[in-house]
Homo-oligomer: A and B are copies of this chain.
Amino acid sequence: MAAYTPSALKAELNERGWRMTPQRETMLKTFQNLPEGTHLSAEDLCDQLDKEGEPISLSTIYRNLKLMARMGILRELELAEGQKRYEINQPAPHHHHHLICVRCNKTIEFKNDSVLKVGAKTADRSGYHILDCQLLIHGICPTCQRSIVPI
């Protein structure tokens, strides 16, 4: 749950016998420069990097998304149906949670420090090294409540 510089990432990778690569640095920088509220899928990221002239193969993207999520650099989100989305894992002042409409997937981000504290305390009590803490609220948004469309 800390912000990473490329060299901090390299240090942590090497410490575990892994290697820094241009692809990993590109992915880190891309996520760090994303506007708040952006949640990228693997394909989204692949397309965006293509457009920016720094293409990375889809397999590499999948591999490194999972790696960086398990290192606590990225958070893995299950917001919409069918595919995982990722965002940078920011510490306290930027850390946030998600409120999602199950019908139209409209997503609202919100912050709450007390939830974050509950998360830290709970993980600690069980001896877990915490990587991410997200409150997920599913509901039906005002628009969808009014709509006649079922489900």
Chain A residues with CB under 8 Å of chain B are 16-18, 67, 69-70, 76, 78, 97, 99, 101-103, 108, 110, 112, 114-115, 118-119, 122-123, 126-142, 145, 150-151
Copies per complex?
A: 2
Q: Could you tell me the distance between the alpha carbons of A115 and B137 in the complex, rounded to whole angstroms?
A: 11
Q: Could you tell me the distance between the alpha carbons of A17 and B18 in the complex, rounded to whole angstroms?
A: 57
The dominant DSSP class at the A interface is: mixed
Q: How far is the CB of A20 from chain B (nearest CB, A)?
A: 16
Beta-carbon contact of B123 and A137 below 8 Å: yes
Q: Could you tell me the distance between the alpha carbons of A102 and B138 in the complex, rounded to whole angstroms?
A: 23
27 A-B contacts (beta carbon < 8 Å): A17-B150, A18-B150, A67-B151, A69-B102, A70-B103, A70-B151, A99-B123, A99-B126, A101-B128, A108-B126, A114-B114, A115-B115, A122-B137, A126-B141, A127-B145, A128-B139, A128-B141, A131-B138, A131-B140, A132-B136, A132-B137, A132-B139, A133-B138, A134-B135, A134-B136, A135-B135, A136-B136
